[in-house]
Amino acid sequence: MKKTILAFVFMLAAMGAFAQNGVIKDLTGTVELKNAGSAVFTEAKAGDIVKQDTVVSTSFKSTALIEVGSAIIAVRPLTRLTLTEIRASSESESLNVSLQSGRVRVDVKPPAGSKTIMTVSSPSATASVRGTSFELDARNLYVTSGNVLFKGTRGAYTLITTGSESTAGRTGVAVNPLAFGNAAYLPPMPVGTQSYASPVATAATASTAAKSGTETPADDTSNVGVGISY
């Protein structure tokens, strides 16, 4: 048994794989941490280490900035997430985040010659990152830099480029980013005449929510897929 464990340790050492921790670079308000195996939250402070399987929770008007390798996670108010995997080797990093509620901004900038693979999963959306920057909540996506392939439960992937946004509405189809720009030039429908929510109207509502930092209500039937395009 001991020989097997030693062999495994040596194999990991040869591959250059090792566990990696995050650190809270900055915070405002009340931010709490619950370490793996613990039943209680403790108040966090700048400089605290964030290990794998640690739960991070922010209160009202509270934020946290977490650095994990080459990834920066900006945790918005009223957010709860768990760092489910933090691992690195000499050539790559792997980071998985489970977003239970709220909103995060992710910036991934791996150094030259290496790669970072990061996944952020919410109850109805998944974003896979390899060197890009975007904001994501339950169904709304805004791309700060890079290209993202965005998909709902129906329809094909839609390419969302830098500065563009999209949403997966109740129809399950990702809205074309052009609909957000077109919606700004359309007059509102008279009160009582809208029998259904058009894709453009849905896009405009989601766009306003994304820019204001508010979250649209989650749809139990919605499921969003996000990938990165190069």
Neighbours of 213 (CB within 10 A): 11
pLDDT in tens, 76-89: 999 999 999 887 76
More confident residue, 9 or 118: 118
For residue 20, pLDDT over 60 is answered with yes
Q: For residue 40, name the pLDDT band (cuts at 50, 70, 90).
A: very high
Lowest-pLDDT choice from 151-155, 188-192, 202-206: 202-206
More confident residue, 99 or 131: 99
Q: For residue 222, name the pLDDT band (cuts at 50, 70, 90).
A: very low
**pLDDT at residue 142, rounded to an integer:** 85
- Domain ranges, ordered by start, for the chain: 13-122, 147-230
pLDDT in tens, 103-153: 999 888 777 666 777 788 877 777 776 667 888 787 788 888 877 777 666
Of 27, 35, 85, nearest to 59 by C-alpha is 27
Of 4-18, 41-55, 108-122, give the range with the top mean pLDDT.
41-55
**pLDDT at residue 192, rounded to an integer:** 55
Q: Which pairs from 190-197 meet CB under 8 Å and 24+ separation?
A: 197/169, 197/170
State how far the Cα of 149 lies from the Cα of 216, in Å rounded to an integer: 21
Q: Are 95 and 75 in contact (CB under 8 A)?
A: no
Find the mean pLDDT for residues 27-35: 96
For residue 213, pLDDT over 70 is answered with no
State how far the Cα of 103 lies from the Cα of 80, in Å rounded to an integer: 9
For residue 53, pLDDT over 90 is answered with yes
Number of helical H runs and strand E runs in the chain: 3, 19
**Alpha carbon 78 to its chain's center:** 15
More confident residue, 174 or 5: 174
More confident residue, 130 or 222: 130
